[in-house]
Amino acid sequence: MQADVAVLSRRDRLRASTTKEIIQIARRLLVEQGGAAISLRAIAREMGMTAPALYRYFGSHEELIQHVIADIFTELADYTEEAVASASEAVTAGTAATEPTVTNLLAASKAFRAWAISHPAEFGLLFGTPLPGVEMLHDDPLIECGMRFGRIFLRLFDDLWRIRPFAIQPDDEIDPLLRSQLARYRDVIGTDLPLGVLQTFLRCWALLYGTVSLEVFGHLKFALDDSEPMFELVLTDLAAMIGLEYPSPD
């Protein structure tokens, strides 16, 4: 019986290793040649396998892409969480120039921009135009990886709201169409935050994401060679939306 368990364990480890290698090759093809280059045939060729053999690991090209997306989202979430943890340590050590809520939000925002600039191809896969035939649905278990990244910012917003509530629009003053969607979103993420907080959260995310996207995709080069000072101005705008004063960068 123990021998059978050992054989299964080795088989599972081999399968996990092969699956990881497939995802790594797919990601490298994405970076080097673009999303269209990610095909089971191309990956099989690099691994010395047949394309049909890869179907033992991924049932379709779409499933493979979903796993690549999940892997990249996990990396981005890890990177952002590490930046927030480092910022929190600086607060504890007394070396941070701002209060914890400000420090952590700034750390997360700057980490998102830094990762995006360093990984333009991966950023494009996550936040750009979806690849044909690939859809991440709300009930797909892989969506959890993307939700984990989003919850980092939502948690920081929640912390800020609990500690020092900022001005929000009352529920009955929010556009009815938007109000119903915000209520649905609140149910999906399982929070008791007021709809006005979620509205401000999404406004801040749209501003942060839009600014980073413009920079990553080169759409600010018509005017700016170095977009970092503009990003600092955007952080000032974001801070004002949630009742904070963004400190001048060192």
Tell me what pLDDT residue 152 has. 94
Per-residue confidence of the chain (250 residues) as pLDDT tens digits?
444 444 557 778 888 888 999 999 999 988 888 877 888 888 988 888 888 888 889 888 888 888 888 899 999 999 999 999 998 887 676 655 566 778 899 999 999 999 999 999 999 988 887 655 555 544 454 678 888 899 999 999 999 999 889 999 999 999 999 999 999 999 989 999 999 999 999 999 999 999 999 999 999 999 999 999 999 999 999 999 998 887 655 5
Contacts of residue 196, Cβ cutoff 8 Å, sequence gap at least 6: 168, 169, 170, 171, 174
Tell me what pLDDT residue 151 has. 92
Tell me what pLDDT residue 103 has. 86
CA-angle at 87, arms to 85 and 90, nearest 5°: 115
Look at the pTM and tell me if it is higher than 0.95: no
Q: Encode pLDDT of 181-208 as tens digits.
A: 999 999 989 999 999 999 999 999 999 9
Tell me what pLDDT residue 59 has. 86
Domains of the chain: 1-59 (1.10.10.60), 62-241 (1.10.357.10)
CA-angle at 22, arms to 21 and 24, nearest 5°: 65
Tell me what pLDDT residue 215 has. 97
